[in-house]
Amino acid sequence: MKFIKFITDTKPNPNKLGSKASNLIKLFQAGIRVPSGFIIDIKSYKYFLSKTKLKRKLKELFSKGYLAQDIIDLSKKVKSLILASELPKRISANIKRAYIKGLTEFGKKPNFAVRSSSNFEDLKDFSFAGQAESFLNNKEIDNILNSVKKCWASIFSPQSLLYLLQLKKKKNFEISPLKLETGVIIQEMINAQVSGVLFTANVTNNNLEQILINSTWGLGETITNSSIIPDSIILNKSEFEVLKIDIGEKAKMSIPDNDTSSVILINTNEQLREKCSLTNLQLKQLYELAIRIEKLFNYPQDIEWAIEEERVYILQSRPITTIK
């Protein structure tokens, strides 16, 4: 199917699919559980830009570079242009076909997470962490199609444009947002009871013999976007041993809201706040996955995971960019 690749039957290819998608495929091929889904390749984004004539408009907008004070307006302009443009029929038709194929394979009607997978994120030196956006819990095909455009538009989000300015200023690494390209990953939404991030080295003290986990109730975005204080657990790496548990307040939880096809933030009840979000068994499962995944990529990894009814799903894995 043109523009679309299913995770289960394609080869990893960061240039065609973006690094996040490529790493998911590698994980799947190694027998690690990832949410089922498909990828809209980077070519689709380029095709969209040329078919809608946006490529030329964007070139004009960015022809003179930009300053920090221009970012909000510039970002708004680009986002409006992208959202107002119609998806080329060839792309939307194939997404619809893939969506229906996906539903048939799943055997049920899940909601979908729509996430960016760019060719610049998740590299060894620059993570671009948090710059490209994800859109969760999309219920119908129309929500999905709109979220695809929102992913494309997130290349030009204020935080993304600001990050590029900072790379130029602090790291002498110059790249135009016009050179950034993104694929889009569409996967079944995991209705996680517990989610989090796992580093296969302790990034706070550079200890390569430890594993560091941040964990919380509900969806993991509350950790990555810093809206709560998560549980923090340190494990020994050479063999499974829990070295330290710091219970975080976890004051809010992000959960899917099926009425609005989005996610909502609710207050966590008192009992859950005081409880560690991971059991010893789950810690052991995460430990074993961590060792496997680090071996697979042959480099310390920053891993996002989610647990739904005792099944651990890996949502993302990328190199730790700051290990010495």
Instruction: List the structure tokens of 260.
Output: 């609005």
Q: Give the shortest CB-115-to-another protein separation in angstroms.
A: 14
Site string for another protein, 5-34 (x = CB under 8 A): ------------------------------
Count the site residues for another protein by CB under 8 A: 41
Q: Give the shortest CB-323-to-another protein separation in angstroms.
A: 9
100 near another protein (CB under 8 A): no
Q: Among 50, 63, 227, 260, which residue sits at the site for another protein (rule: CB under 8 A)?
A: 227
Q: Long-range CB contacts (< 8 A, 24+ apart) of 276-280?
A: 276/215, 276/231, 276/233, 276/245, 276/247, 277/194, 277/196, 277/215, 277/216, 277/217, 277/230, 277/231, 277/250, 278/194, 278/196, 278/213, 278/215, 278/231, 278/233, 280/242
Q: In this chain, which stretch among 13-21, 78-86, 200-208, 288-296 interacts with another protein, using CB under 8 A?
A: 200-208
Instruction: List the structure tokens of 23.
Output: 């790493």
Residue 265 neighbours by CB distance under 10 Å = 16
Choice between 70 and 310, CB closer to another protein: 70
Strand partners, 157: none
Q: Give the shortest CB-199-to-another protein separation in angstroms.
A: 7
- Where are the alpha helices (H) located in the chain, listed in sequence order? 14-17, 19-29, 42-51, 54-62, 71-84, 89-106, 141-153, 158-171, 221-224, 270-274, 280-297
236 near another protein (CB under 8 A): no
162 near another protein (CB under 8 A): yes
Choice between 141 and 203, CB closer to another protein: 203
Nearest to 147 by CA among 184, 180, 182: 184
Q: Among 104, 205, 267, 298, which residue sits at the site for another protein (rule: CB under 8 A)?
A: 205
Q: Among 169, 179, 295, 311, which residue sits at the site for another protein (rule: CB under 8 A)?
A: 169
Enumerate binding residues for another protein (CB under 8 A). 68-69, 71-72, 125-127, 129-131, 158-159, 162-163, 165-166, 169-171, 196-199, 203-205, 212, 214, 223-230, 232, 248, 302, 321-322
